[in-house]
Each structure stands twice: as structure tokens, then as C-alpha cells.
């Protein structure tokens, strides 16, 4: 329990955030920038131009060895052995009861002399648990599990102008590679940062609903990369962006947040993540029997999107009502900066999960009308 009482950790970019005048928040055991100036301005910058995020609080766990794919097929709910080198996959790590320990992005990297290689990226607050759980599950497999969180920084450029910003730090010979990178792919790319060459793992992934990139960088180079991206983004109206707008951006994109929508008590099927659970895998995996039973039984409650008819927003834990009776609970909610009306994610009894269903959310004692809508709330134009 020591992690809850100790001082929050600082990322390698903490001083850069201080210099930019950030207000900080303790998130997942880390002192992270909440906002630099205005979270609304930062939100709109990501939707319209670009935002620069420090995501170094996320974990990085490397799985290496001849049985890396086979091991991940056992440890996680997805079939990671069939992911091609250079591609990424969203997955879950569940316990034996089918409860969600964390949601993850897994990158498959090219094999080397040590065997197949995967990079597993858990959420900040769950990273130590996930690393420990993977290490425990690795018993009997020919793999090594290495938690590189403490040495690795993660910087994200998100928004429609992220490509043009990134290309300024990449030699012309690699421009085509970067431009043509597919969503959910990753590649080692040569950067020029502060006049020096730097080979970094670049991924076309994100948590904002926009085009964008995430760059894995050793702590020692994080500051110079951060400042080079800030400078390159100046003409494109890039803003440094904090966790406040990260939350509003992911909610508009209908993406779940661990601790809100996902938890040990939440079923992947209730959360709309049934497609992530590979019951077609021909091998056993942790949670398989429980998840098969869950699927067989069907979902009594489902995660839905809610759109407010008025202006007041529902917030986490507010009751969802139908004819005065509680039929669910909001997990995340706020006024949508892009759409201009309140949006929320909520678990509701399955019979009320159909889009178009009118429900009410109890807003501090006063019920207000909301409608079940299709997710995501916001989808970028391609």
C-alpha cells in the first residue's frame, strides 16, 4: 500500500511543465500536468490543429523470448501471437474471474536474436500491478518480462496537424514512411533532435479521437524532444495539453477510462469490449472460463452513451433513472467542448441500452432528460 501514501512521482518532463506554467494533479501516483492555460483551448487545439502531451506516467513492459506470443495469448484476452510485426493491438488483462485488471496497448516489434518482442503499455496507476502479474504468469514460458517504465518517457502529438509537425524532426528520406504509417502501427524512426540524430519508436496511436502519434523516448532525451516538438508546432498552433483535455477528448471519442468504465468488477462484454476477447483462441488464457460463462449468460447491464437534452451535465456516479427508478449509473460525463451539449458514459440495465431510449440522470437531486445515443459521440472526418 506504500504507493498510495508516498509522494507522487515526477516524469522526466516535470520541469518543462513547471516552466510552461502548468497546474498539476496527482494521477495514478504521478504528478501530471492538468492544464497549462485553459483546458478548453487545449481541447480545441487537439481537434483543430495539434496538442502535445506528456504520457510518461504510462507503463512500458517488454516481453521478449521465443515464446513471447504464446505467453501473451495466455496472459491476455486477445490473440497477440497473430499480430504482425510493426502492428499494435488493444487488449485486456483479466483475472481468473474475468474482472478487468487493466486495458492495454501491445506493440509487436521485429524479432531479434532473443526471440519475439512485444511492448505492453498499461495505465499509470495499474503499471506496477500489470508488470507483477505478467511476471507471475510468465512462469513456465521461455520469456523475459522487463518493466522499463522508470526509464521510458512517452510523448504524444495529437491532432490533424500532427503529421506536418512531426515531419519537421524527421529526415526527408523518412517522410514517406511516417506519412504512410497506418493507424495502430509503429516503427523505429530517425529523428533529428537538438541537432543530433535519435532513433525512436514512433506509433500512430492515441486516446483523443484524432490522427496522432506517440513517441517512446529514453528519459535522457525526453526534454530535448519535448522542446523540439513545441518549437516545430509553433507555426501549426500546437499547444501543450494536459490531462483535463485528455479526458474530455477521450470521452467525446467514446473511449473507456480504467477506473471509470473499466474495473475488476466490470465485464468486458458489458463494456462493449466483447470483440477484444478472443474466445476463438485454441489455447487457454487467464479468465477464459469466467469470460465464456459471462458471454453465455449475456449482459444484464451495458455501457451506453448519453446525450443531455439540457445544458447541465451528468458526472461520475450520478444515478440514471427511468420513470423515477434507478436503472444505472454514470461512469464519466461532462459538457462536450466540441459538440456543445452534455455527454456521458453510463452502465444501464440492458433493456434500456437501445439508442433512442429516453432516460433521466439525477443531477444532484433534480432529474434531467438524457437520450441513449450511438458511440462515439464524436468521429473525425476522414
Q: Per CB under 8 A, does 179 bind another protein?
A: no
Q: Which residues pair with 190 in a beta bridge?
A: 199
Each residue 219-248 as x (binds another protein by CB under 8 A) or -, in order, gives: -------------------------x--xx
Nearer CB in complex with another protein: 22/266? 22
Strands (E), the chain: 9-10, 23-27, 30-35, 50-54, 61-65, 88-94, 100-112, 115-121, 144-147, 152-158, 186-193, 196-203, 212-218, 238-240, 301-308, 319-322, 325-335, 342-349, 358-363, 366-373
Among residues 16, 337, 353, 372, which is the contact residue for another protein, using CB under 8 A? Answer: 337
Site for another protein in 119-138 (CB under 8 A): none
Q: Per CB under 8 A, does 102 bind another protein?
A: no
Select from 228, 178, 237, 168 the least CA-distant residue to 13.
Answer: 228
Task: Report yes or no: 199 and 189 within 8 Å, Cβ to Cβ.
Answer: yes
Nearer CB in complex with another protein: 251/348? 251
Span interacting with another protein, options 84-92, 222-230, 265-273, 331-339, rule CB under 8 A: 331-339
Q: Per CB under 8 A, does 117 bind another protein?
A: no
Strands 61-65 and 186-193: unpaired
Helix (H, G, I), strand (E, B) or coil at 106: strand
Least Å from the CB of residue 90 to another protein: 26
Alpha carbon separation from 200 to 50, 63, 197, 272, 297 (Å, rounded): 20, 18, 10, 34, 46
Q: Per CB under 8 A, does 339 bind another protein?
A: no
CA 11 to chain CA centroid, nearest Å: 18
Select from 35, 381, 38 the least CA-distant residue to 210.
Answer: 381
Q: Per CB under 8 A, does 317 bind another protein?
A: no
Q: Per CB under 8 A, does 311 bind another protein?
A: yes
Least Å from the CB of residue 127 to another protein: 24
Q: Per CB under 8 A, does 319 bind another protein?
A: no
Q: Per CB under 8 A, does 367 bind another protein?
A: no
Q: How many CB atoms lie within 10 A of CB 16?
A: 18
Count interface residues toward another protein (CB under 8 A).
Answer: 18
Cell of 260: 471509470
Nearer CB in complex with another protein: 40/375? 40
CA distance 74 to 249: 33
Least Å from the CB of residue 368 to another protein: 11
Select from 224, 166, 155 the least CA-distant residue to 194.
Answer: 224
Among residues 281, 315, 319, 322, which is the contact residue for another protein, using CB under 8 A? Answer: 315
Select from 138, 99, 106 the least CA-distant residue to 122.
Answer: 106
Span interacting with another protein, options 80-88, 202-210, 233-241, 332-340, rule CB under 8 A: 332-340
Cell of 267: 465485464
Nearer CB in complex with another protein: 40/148? 40
Span interacting with another protein, options 79-87, 114-122, 160-168, 308-316, rule CB under 8 A: 308-316
Site for another protein in 10-49 (CB under 8 A): 23, 35, 38-41, 43
Nearer CB in complex with another protein: 104/249? 249
**Cell 502531451 -> residue:** 53
Nearer CB in complex with another protein: 263/316? 316
Question: Which residues form the interface with another protein (CB under 8 A)?
Answer: 23, 35, 38-41, 43, 244, 247-248, 311-313, 315, 334-335, 337, 364
Amino acid at each position: 500500500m506504500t504507493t498510495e501514501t508516498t509522494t507522487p512521482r515526477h516524469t522526466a518532463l516535470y520541469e518543462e511543465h513547471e516552466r510552461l506554467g502548468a497546474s498539476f494533479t496527482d494521477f495514478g501516483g504521478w504528478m501530471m500536468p492538468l492544464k497549462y492555460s485553459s483546458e478548453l483551448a487545449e481541447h480545441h487545439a487537439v481537434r483543430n490543429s495539434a496538442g502535445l502531451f506528456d504520457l510518461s506516467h504510462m507503463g512500458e513492459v517488454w516481453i521478449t523470448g521465443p515464446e513471447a506470443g504464446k505467453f501473451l495469448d495466455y496472459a491476455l484476452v486477445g490473440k497477440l501471437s497473430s499480430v504482425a510485426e510493426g502492428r499494435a493491438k488493444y487488449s485486456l488483462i483479466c483475472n481468473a474471474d474475468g474482472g478487468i485488471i487493466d486495458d492495454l496497448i501491445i506493440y509487436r516489434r521485429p524479432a531479434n536474436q532473443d526471440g519475439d518482442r512485444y511492448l505492453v503499455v498499461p495505465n499509470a496507476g495499474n503499471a506496477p500491478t500489470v508488470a507483477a502479474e505478467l511476471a507471475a504468469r510468465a512462469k513456465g514460458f521461455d520469456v523475459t518480462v522487463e518493466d522499463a517504465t522508470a526509464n521510458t518517457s512517452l510523448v504524444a502529438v495529437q491532432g490533424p496537424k500532427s503529421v506536418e509537425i512531426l515531419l519537421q524532426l524527421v529526415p526527408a528520406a523518412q517522410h514517406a514512411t511516417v506519412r504512410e504509417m497506418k493507424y495502430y502501427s509503429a516503427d523505429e524512426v530517425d529523428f533529428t533532435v537538438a541537432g543530433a540524430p535519435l532513433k525512436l519508436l514512433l506509433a500512430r496511436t492515441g486516446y483523443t479521437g484524432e490522427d496522432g502519434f506517440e513517441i517512446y523516448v529514453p528519459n535522457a532525451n525526453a526534454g530535448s524532444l519535448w522542446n523540439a516538438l513545441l518549437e516545430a508546432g509553433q507555426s501549426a498552433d500546437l499547444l501543450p495539453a494536459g490531462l483535463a483535455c485528455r479526458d474530455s477528448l477521450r470521452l467525446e471519442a467514446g473511449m473507456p477510462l480504467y477506473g471509470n468504465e473499466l474495473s475488476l468488477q466490470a465485464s468486458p462484454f458489458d463494456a462493449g469490449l466483447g470483440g477484444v476477447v478472443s474466445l476463438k483462441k485454441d489455447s487457454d488464457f487467464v479468465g477464459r472460463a469466467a469470460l465464456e460463462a459471462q458471454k453465455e449468460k449475456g449482459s444484464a447491464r451495458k455501457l451506453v452513451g448519453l446525450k443531455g437534452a439540457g445544458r447541465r451535465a451528468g458526472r461520475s456516479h450520478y444515478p440514471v433513472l427511468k420513470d423515477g427508478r434507478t436503472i444505472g449509473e454514470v461512469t464519466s460525463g461532462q459538457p462536450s467542448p466540441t459538440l456543445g451539449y452534455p455527454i456521458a458514459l453510463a452502465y444501464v440495465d440492458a433493456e434500456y441500452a437501445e439508442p433512442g431510449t429516453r432516460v433521466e440522470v439525477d443531477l444532484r437531486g433534480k432529474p434531467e432528460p438524457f437520450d441513449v445515443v450511438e458511440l462515439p459521440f464524436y468521429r473525425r472526418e476522414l
